[in-house]
Structure 1
Amino acid sequence: MAWSRERRILLPLVGLVVLSVAVLTTVMFRSSFHLEALRERAIVEATLSLAKEKSDRLDKRVIEQDNAVMSLTEGDPLESFGSRWLDVASVQSPTVRAILVVDLNGPAHEVLALASRSPGPGDDEIRRLLMNELWDELDLTPSDQLKHLHTSRLEKSYLISYWQRMRSGRRVLVIAWHDVPSIVHDLFPRLYEEVPEESSRVNVVDSKGRIVFGQPISKGALTLGRRFETTLYKWQVNVSMARAEDLARAVERRRIWEMGLVLLSSLVVVLGLGVIVVAVSRERKLALAQSDFVANVSHELKTPLALVRMFSELLLLGRAAPEKQRQYLEIIVSESERLSALIDNVLDFARVERGTAAFEFREANLVETVGRAVEVQRGRAERQGVTITTEIEEGLGDSPLAVIDERAIEIAVINLIDNALKYAPGTEEIVVALRGEKNRFVISVIDQGPGIPKAERRRIFERFVRGKAPSTQVRGSGIGLSLVQQIAEAHGGAAWVEDGRGPAEKKGASFSLSVARRGA
């Protein structure tokens, strides 16, 4: 009844979870398309951010050089203002070609001083170009702020950095004349070719769209550009996104991957639920088996105890004849041995299940060990009218040495014989056989009972599992064969059951366990 109630609760809950997964999958599919639009927008924004970063990188590098020049020329006399700068110019301001100081007080705007990294006729050309053509483009409003002029003449581009200062009581203009070809050929490669895969995506163009630096960006590529904000403000840096076709393919691949991931996740959830249902079912079966085990063990304990008590009370009355007294004592001894064997079985099984069983392996004679187990059960078998016969393979009598735990092997054989005596009705002879194979020894206990159906053989060695045949309705603990299997595995072997030696109508069963040979 309890399991039926649990099933009525569990099944609707599983259905709700499956429905929730289906709803979640649908929502994820719909969200996937919306997320792609957001992702494309994010790609555009990321590309714009990259273009801004690349334009700002150049501005920052040029301004760093201007500040270096500014700090090196402050406070020095006009006659020697450039000497300190020239000593470190190639390192601190590599793109600055010349520095000029111009008087702003007089109308002639006299050049008071000039320092050049390459003195020569070019210096006069700079002076004339500045005074005759570029002067009117300078912003000369009083200010100590650093300013820049980017202009072109006769297809040549010029970049000038300038700032005003007070020197010897008069206002002067300090000008740093940048070598634009040096910026293009030396500075741009260092700034924009640091990442090889990016170099094919970046170029710099002038105001007419002509490429100043870099390679043409391939046709069909989505390109975003940004002007240099402070220095070369008439030029712009272009950054290409992936080509439209590549972007579409990437989006489609990502969508398929995400959908696959959602489907896989849903499948995992459903499989997980299936596993949970199976686990709950198995746990329930195990709980029922444990309940049967407790009932069976209780019965197994109760029966010999009741017999011991009953015949002990008869002996206490003192009315039984000597022959009867001996018979009662034999029954008491037999039931006590049965009770002791059951308790030992339960304790051994509990130790193995907890993993606390301490096997004591040592070299021993397997024939002698099997023989002791047979002798333990021989008296009980004779009382049931059953003969126990041992069959030792020829050649094993003197030297079947194996590294074993003798007590554990005895327990395993005793359990197999007990199983035959209890569940194989009509058996007149039980054969205990020992044979050697290439890498192992095999111990078999063969009865003449109804046998074990093939459908039950795989599970017959599981704990608390008992056969469904009528003969198995005899009460038992359900742990004997499981203990046999665990002992066999601890010895590097296995346990199994197969048909016995009898005819089809009474073929019997052959229960076997194997033990690894020494050194195998």
Structure 2
Amino acid sequence: MEGGRFRLWYLILVPAILVATGILGFYTFRSSREYTQLGDETIAQSLLSVAQQRVERIERYIVIADGTVFRLVDPNDSSTIDSVWLPQAEAQTPSVRSVLLLDPDGDVIQWASREDKKKRRAFLRTFRQRLLGNLDLDSAEPRVLRHAHIQREGEDSSYLLSYRAFDTRAGKLTYIVAAHDTQYLVDEVFPTMFSSDESTPIYNIVDESNQLVFGPDLSEVGVYTVDHRFPTTLEGWRLQVAPRKAALLQAQGRSRLRGEATLPLMSFAIILLSAIFFIYAAEKERRLNELKSELMANVSHELKTPLSVVRMFADMLRSDRVPSEERRKEYLDIICRESERLTSLIDNVLDFSALEGGKGPYRLKQGDLGEAVGRALEAFRYRSEQDGVEIQLKRANELPPVLIDQEAIALAIINLLDNAVKYGGQSPVELELIAKRNSIDVAVRDHGPGIPAASLRRVFERFYRGPHSSPTRGSGIGLSLVQHIAQAHGGRAWAKNAPGGGAVVGLSIPVAAV
């Protein structure tokens, strides 16, 4: 009843602990992810603000250059393009390569360029054939600045045209167009806008097809890259910004994410394993207590029979109900042998108690193993005669000396014989001493049903008594003591099934060094 109640608590508490751990791990992981995302968003917002500021600076530079052109060129006097703007162009508007004055129909009234003769002609031809159509002159309002950023497919260079409409004194609209050299912006202006200091971010500019225009490649930076488009001037181009240590941040982010994912899993696994171990240990302890209780019941039964015999014959002797002196001697012999049987059982229990306490009471001396076997046979003879079991001894003529505790070895052999008699039925028991090169084997064979395969490795466990269907009673500590005694002598205990039926259980004792 008590064990069932404990198992019920295990079934309730362990799943509850696991569920609670899982929930805690989930919320811990989610909170960590949220904090990580918040940090990433903060970095992204900071970078976006920087990108907006840099784009505004570049556009302000272009707009200031445009304003200078429109201030130097008089729409009512076309000659000011050559006489006023061109001499000051390199100093005042270095990014502007050409300025054009157009009539209401878009025809060129006057123009000037800082390029050489060949490039001037090429630009004018390109403007008339390919660029003019991109200017929305019809909807241009007077004194409203407009821009057209034109990049032809398959061409590396692009054209940036700034234009405004002006009312002339003649009552007609004219248009002033400033053509910027985008390559000059890339080579000369952009480097001054972006610092290469280690404390500042990394910048680049890409076009509509994501081709690099300026700066380093940031494709490896990943989530830490933000971009901002040029809204009015260099339309289609984007400024990209990333932390200078983006690779490190990305690696740290991945490492942190792995840690955040691993920690709850490890905690869950540790608690799960702890719970399993706790259940296993508790169940093992419960089973051990049951086996100890079974041991007490079996020992009580084993003690009861010889005590009853001793008491019966002692009462007969005390009351003088013995018909003859021969019977009197026989009764005394029975009392002595049953006393020896009791002594053997009590020795088993005491030695087992010493084993449980971690004590090693064995005193090893060089001796003859055959002598210890003889003592064991003499002590066990009455038991075998009572059970009608014949014990056959086989031994080599000469046995090498061994280091043994005579009493402990005799006790081990008695337990081997007792085990064979219990499980071998009325069949003969064979006790054989086998001399090997480095050891002497003591093998006890019965002709019973043998040992089930599942029990072969467990027969030497304390309290183990084989399948519960077996009607044979016993303490379950005899073979455990055999193994302990064998190991204390530097040897081992072993068990196997004999080829012709029955079981062979024995121990091996190493030969003493000469």
Letter in 1 for 2:415: N
Q: How does 1:349-368 map to 2 (within 5 A)?
A: 349-368=352-371
1:287 maps to which of 274, 286, 289: 289
Partners in 2 of 1:215 and 1:242 — Cα distance? 7
1:12 aligns to what? 12
Q: CA deviation at 1:14?
A: 1.0
Question: Quick check: 1:403–1:517 contact (8 Å CA) kept in 2?
Answer: yes
Amino acid corresponding to residue 257 of structure 2 in structure 1? R
Alignment match, 1:452 = 451
In structure 1, give the amino acid aligned to 2:263.
L
Aligned to 2:184: none
Q: Does 1:514 align with 2:513?
A: no
- 2:300 maps to a residue whose letter is S
Q: Given the alignment of the two structures, is residue 490 of structure 1 paired with residue 492 of structure 2, yes or no?
A: no
**Matched-pair contact (CA < 8 Å) for 1:500–1:509:** yes
Q: How far, CA to CA, are the matches of 1:241 and 1:358 in structure 2?
A: 75
Q: Distance in 2 between matches of 1:432 and 1:30?
A: 71
SS in structure 1 at match of 2:505: strand
SS at match of 2:327: helix
Matched residues in 1 for 2:357 and 2:43: separation?
59
Letter in 2 for 1:278: Y
Deviations 1:52-109 (A, max 9, x none): xxxxxxxxxxxxxxxxxxxxxxxxxxxxxxxxxxxxxxxxxxxxxxxxxxxxxxxxxx
Match of 1:435 in 2: 434
Secondary structure of the corresponding residue to residue 300 of structure 2: helix
Q: Secondary structure at the match of 2:403?
A: strand
Shift of 1:25: 2.0
Residue equivalent to 2:263: 261
CA contact (8 A) 2:200 2:244 kept: no
SS in 1 for 2:266: helix
The amino acid across from 2:289 in the alignment is: A
Match of 1:374 among 374, 377, 382: 377
Report the 3-state secondary structure (helix = DSSP H, G, I; strand = E; otherwise coil) of the residue aligned with 1:319: coil
Counterpart CA distance in 2 for 1:42 and 1:328 is 101
Aligned mates of 2:384, 2:250 — CA distance in 1: 83
> Hey, what's the Cα distance between the residues in 2 that align with 1:392 and 1:43?
89
State the secondary structure of the residue aligned to 2:362: coil
TM-score normalised over the length of structure 1: 0.58
- The answer (yes or no) to whether the contact 2:200–2:243 under 8 Å persists in 1 is no
What is the aligned partner in structure 2 of residue 234 from structure 1?
Answer: none
What is the CA–CA distance in structure 1 between the aligned matches of 2:40 and 2:198, rounded to whole Å?
28
Q: Which residue number in structure 1 is paired with residue 337 of structure 2?
A: 334
* Partner residue in 2 for 1:480: 478
For the 8 Å contact 1:463–1:479, the answer to whether it is kept is yes
Q: 1: distance between equivalents of 2:492 and 2:338?
A: 31
Displacement of 1:241: 6.2
TM-score norm. by structure 2 comes to 0.59
8 Å Cα contact 2:199-2:244 kept in structure 1: no
Compute the displacement of 1:216 (Å). 11
**Structure 2: gaps of 5 or more residues:** 45-191, 204-215, 226-241
- Partners in 2 of 1:43 and 1:318 — Cα distance? 109
Query: Retained in 1: the 8 A contact 2:344–2:411?
Result: no
2-structure distance, mates of 1:339, 1:24: 61
Alpha carbons 1:348, 1:357 under 8 Å: kept: no
How far has the Cα of 1:320 moved from its partner?
2.3
The residue identity in structure 1 corresponding to 2:369 is L
Say if 1:43 and 1:304 are closer, same or farther in 2 by CA, change over 3 A.
farther
SS at match of 1:30: helix
Change (3 A) 1:378 1:313: closer
Residue 501 of structure 1: CA displacement? 5.1
Give the secondary-structure state (helix, strand or coil) at the position aligned to 1:473. coil
CA contact (8 A) 2:389 2:429 kept: yes
Quick one: distance in 1 between partners of 2:340 and 2:266?
A: 59
1:28 — aligned with what? 28
Note closer, same or farther for the CA distance 1:456–1:337 as it changes in structure 2 (3 Å cut).
Answer: same
Name the SS of the counterpart of 2:392 in structure 1: strand
Query: Match for 1:276: what amino acid?
Result: F
- Shift in CA distance, 39/417, structure 1 to aligned 2, threshold 3 Å: farther
Query: What is the CA–CA distance in structure 2 between the aligned matches of 1:452 and 1:478, rounded to whole Å?
Result: 15
1:209–1:474 CA distance, 2 compared to 1 (3 A): closer
**Is the 1:493–1:516 contact (alpha carbons within 8 Å) kept by the matching residues of 2?**
yes
Find the counterpart in structure 1 of residue 421 from structure 2.
421
RMSD: 3.3
Amino acid of the residue matched to residue 318 of structure 2? Answer: L
Distance (whole Å) between structure 1 residues aligned to residue 345 and residue 486 of structure 2: 20
Post-superposition offset of 1:491: 1.8
